[in-house]
Structure 1
C-alpha cells in the first residue's frame, strides 16, 4: 500500500479519482487499470520473450476475461489461454487470432472440442486418453489436424492452498505418470492421423512464491522427454510450464520478480536438455493472476455499521461474496482503504461484512480504518484476478459493472447487470400462470 496515490484525501487509481468513478458508475464496481496490464506485459516481453529464443507467453484468461481484455492482450503481443467453451467463444467474438490460443480443460465437451477444432485453435492441451480419441475423430470430420500438448501430472507438491495446488500426484488435472498411462497416450498421439502431438504441459499450482516446484517439475518432464525419444523417436517441440507466479495481497506475502521464476526454469531446461541430448523445445509460460491481479480494485459503498461493545464493529458494504467469493471459498485475504478518507488517521478496527444472507460472507476481518460513516467508499486492492471471473448471482444479486481506466480516462467494458437481466432466461409453464 506504499504506492497509493492521494489527491484531496481521495484515492487515485489509473489517474482517476475513485470517488468520482463511484458517482458516475455506482457500486459495487470493478475498476481495471490498463496501465498496470501494459506494464506487466512489457515486463514479460523484456524478461522472457526478448531474452530467450523460441518462447511464447499466454495470458491465462480464467483470471479475467472479456472482449476488451482480449483486445489488450492481442495488442501487447501475448497469446491467450482459455479453459472453457465460453472463454473460447469470447476470444472468437473478439477476433483474437486463433493460432495464438491454448485450449485447456480437464473435461472438455464434444461441443467445445468441435468449436476449437472448427476454428483452428492453436493448441489443445489434452488432459486424458479419452480426449485424444475424441479430438482425432472430430478432426477427421472437419478435415483438420489438431495440434496437441499433453498436460502431465508431474507429482510435485507446491506450498499454497490445497484448492489451488495442481501438480501433486492426486490431482484431477493431467495425465498421470504412474504406470504406462503417459506412454500409452504418447503412442496413441503418434499413431492418430488427425492430430499432431507437439509436446507437454504442466502446471504446479497458483499464487506461488517459491520456484522449487517448477524446477522439480522440469526435472520430471525432461526425463519424460528423454524416455519418449528413446522409446518412440518422438522429439518434444514444445514445453509449456504453466503459470502461478504469486502476487501481493496481504501482509506476509512476499512475491518474487518474474525473472526469479523464468530464469531458473530456463536454466534448468537448458541444463537438462544438454544432459539428455535433447533439442531445446519452444518454452511457453501462462501467467494470469500475475498480469491482472494488481491491475484491479473493487469499490463499495458502506451502509449499515453495527457496533457490538467489547466484541466487534461490523461495517456492511453493498457487495460481498457475490462479487468476491475468494475469502469465503478459501480464506483469501485483502487489504483495503476508505477511498474518500485515505489520509485520515486509522484509529478504528472493523470487520467488513458482505450483504449476502450468509454468516460466512465476511470480506475482511480486522481492518484498520479511520472513523467510517454510511456513504463512505471502500476500495479493496488487488482484486483484478478471479473476482469478476467468479462473480455470481446468489441472493438474486446483479453482478457489478467493470470500468477500464487509463491516464485519467474511464470506459465501461462490462455493463452492470439489472434485475431484468436476472430473469431474462426464466420461463413459467402455462399451467402455473
Structure 2
C-alpha cells in the first residue's frame, strides 16, 4: 500500500478532515465542508441530483479561479506560460473558464486540440504533446502555430520534413531523464523503460539529442515530465534539474542560446486524505529553486502543464443510494456512482482512494452512529466498489453519497460500461450572502443519445453483407 492510501485510511478514522487552506483563509467566507454541504442541499432543491438525476458532477468555479491564482503567485515574476492539461477535465466550459483566467492549454490528441480551439485558446497558447502524432496532426499544428513537443527522434525527423520555413510554432523535444519511479508506477513517466521521450541515459542518446539540436536551429525547447500522482517533489525536481543541465550543455556546445524555453510539465500530487491542499504550488516552486536555482534567472522561458492539481479539489460527485443490503455481515450501499465515473478508484483503490460523505434525501449531512459500509456502484461486475469498509452514518435508499476531490479525471471522462449514460456536470459559485448559483457544463446523456452513439444509424448494416453458401464456423 502506498503512503497516500495509508494517509487516507487514517483520515477516515478521524472523520471529515481539516479545512482547505484556501477557504480557511476566508477567501469565500465559509469553510470548505460547510460550503460543499450548502451546495449539495441546493443541488437537491434545484433538482440537479436526486430522483430524476441519479448522479451528477459539480465544479467549483470560485475554487478553480483561486487555484489558478495560487499557481501564478507561486511562480512570481518568472516568465511562464501556465497550460492546463486538457485530459484532466475535457469539458469545453471548464476549458473556457481556464482560458478566461489567462491559462494556456496542453493537448495530447486531435480531439483535445479541437476542444481547446473551441474553448477559445489562441493557438500560440496551446502545446501539443502525444507519443503518436500523425503527419496530419503535425501538419495542422504547424499550420495553426500551435507549439509541438516531439516525443522521439523519428517524430522530430517527421516534423523537420513537414515544417514550413515560416512556421510560427515553437518546437521542442521531449526527453526522459530516467530519474525513477513514484509510488504509482502507471503515473511515473521518467522510468528506465517509459514510453515517453528520448531516454537520456541509454547508450548514445544524449549525443543524439545534442546533434539533433545542432542540425535544427529552429528547435528551441526541451520538454520533460517526470510523472504525477505518487511522485514526490524531490523526484520531480530531480528530473527538471537533469533537463535544465542538458539545455545548458546543448547551448554551451552550440555556442549560442538556441534553447530558449523549458517545458517542465506538471504533475503536482493531490492530497486525497482531507480538504487541505498539500503540497502547494509554493512548495513545488520552493523545491525547484532549491534543486535548480538557475531555472529562475530569466534566461529560459518556462511552460507548465498542470491538470489534476488545479481541478481535483474543485469538484465532487453526488449520487443517489438506490438500495441497501447486507452480505457476509457487511452493509453494502448500492449507488449510481461506480466504475463508469470513478474508474481508477474502482480498479486501483489503494492508489486512488476517495473520501465519501453521507447526505439524506434532502441533501443534508447525515449524523449518527458510524456503521462500516461498502459504497458500491451500478456496474455489473463484482469489483464495482468505490469505497470499502468505510465508517459512515447508516445509509438508506434515496440518501446521497458525495465523492470528494473528483474535479479532475472523474465525471469529465466517464467510461461507457453497461451503456450507462454520461452524467450531467454543473458549475457553481457561492456569493457573499451564501446564495448558490449553478450553470450547466454538460447535460446528462439521454438513452436516445446512448443508442445513437452505439450505431443506430447503421442498425441493419451487418444484415446486408453477403451470406456464405455454407454457414461458417465460429472464429476461434
Q: What's the TM-score once normalised by structure 1's chain length?
A: 0.89
1:11 to 2:37 alignment: yes
1:223 to 2:251 alignment: no
1:242 match: secondary structure: coil
- 1:253–1:231 CA distance, 2 compared to 1 (3 A): same
* Deviation readout 1:132-154 (Å, 9 max, x if unpaired): 122223323x9635321211101
1:330 to 2:348 alignment: yes
* Deviation readout 1:311-345 (Å, 9 max, x if unpaired): x1111012310111011332211001113341512
- 1:115-194 matches, cutoff 5 A: 115-121=140-146, 123-140=147-164, 144-177=167-200, 178-192=202-216
Residues in 2 aligned to 1:343 and 1:168: alpha-carbon distance in whole angstroms: 45
1:84 to 2:102 alignment: no
Residue 247 of structure 1 is matched in structure 2 by 270
2:178 match: secondary structure: coil
**Residue in structure 1 matching 2:337, options 291, 316, 319:** 319
Deviation at 1:346, TM superposition (A): 4.3
Give the conservation status (yes or no) of the 8 Å contact 1:320–1:355: yes
CA RMSD of aligned residues (A): 2.6
1:233 to 2:261 alignment: no
Deviation at 1:387, TM superposition (A): 0.7
Residues in 2 aligned to 1:239 and 1:249: alpha-carbon distance in whole angstroms: 30
* Deviation readout 1:81-108 (Å, 9 max, x if unpaired): 1111111001112221110111111111
Residues in 2 aligned to 1:38 and 1:431: alpha-carbon distance in whole angstroms: 50
* Deviation readout 1:357-382 (Å, 9 max, x if unpaired): 11121111112221221111111111
- 1:26-45 matches, cutoff 5 A: 26-45=53-72
**Residue in structure 1 matching 2:83, options 58, 73, 77:** 58
1:424 match: secondary structure: helix
Q: What's the TM-score once normalised by structure 2's chain length?
A: 0.81
Residues in 2 aligned to 1:349 and 1:136: alpha-carbon distance in whole angstroms: 60
Give the conservation status (yes or no) of the 8 Å contact 1:270–1:280: no
Deviation at 1:160, TM superposition (A): 2.5
**Residue in structure 2 matching 1:412, options 429, 437, 440:** 440
Residue 229 of structure 2 is matched in structure 1 by 207
Give the conservation status (yes or no) of the 8 Å contact 1:189–1:197: yes
2:306 match: secondary structure: coil
Residues in 1 aligned to 2:296 and 2:118: alpha-carbon distance in whole angstroms: 40
1:432 to 2:463 alignment: yes
Deviation at 1:38, TM superposition (A): 0.6
Deviation at 1:248, TM superposition (A): 2.0
1:198 match: secondary structure: strand
Residue 99 of structure 1 is matched in structure 2 by 124
Residue 112 of structure 1 is matched in structure 2 by 137
- 1:108–1:366 CA distance, 2 compared to 1 (3 A): same
- 1:358–1:6 CA distance, 2 compared to 1 (3 A): same
Residues in 2 aligned to 1:153 and 1:68: alpha-carbon distance in whole angstroms: 33
When structure 1 is superposed on structure 2, of 175-184 and 282-291 the one drifting more is 175-184
When structure 1 is superposed on structure 2, of 288-297 and 247-256 the one drifting more is 247-256
Q: What number of residue pairs does the alignment pair up? A: 420
2:292 match: secondary structure: helix
**Residue in structure 1 matching 2:392, options 353, 369, 383:** 369
Runs of 4+ in 1 over 6 A off after TM superposition: 251-254
* Deviation readout 1:27-66 (Å, 9 max, x if unpaired): 2101111011011011112111xx1322221112211122
- 1:400–1:212 CA distance, 2 compared to 1 (3 A): same
**Residue in structure 2 matching 1:395, options 418, 428, 438:** 418
Give structure 1 stretches of 5+ with no counterpart.
Answer: none
Residues in 2 aligned to 1:419 and 1:353: alpha-carbon distance in whole angstroms: 23
Deviation at 1:411, TM superposition (A): 1.1
Residues in 2 aligned to 1:138 and 1:351: alpha-carbon distance in whole angstroms: 55
Deviation at 1:208, TM superposition (A): 4.3
Give structure 2 stretches of 5+ with no counterpart.
Answer: 1-15, 20-31, 431-435, 465-476
- 1:241–1:33 CA distance, 2 compared to 1 (3 A): same
Give the conservation status (yes or no) of the 8 Å contact 2:357–2:403: yes
Give the conservation status (yes or no) of the 8 Å contact 1:15–1:405: no
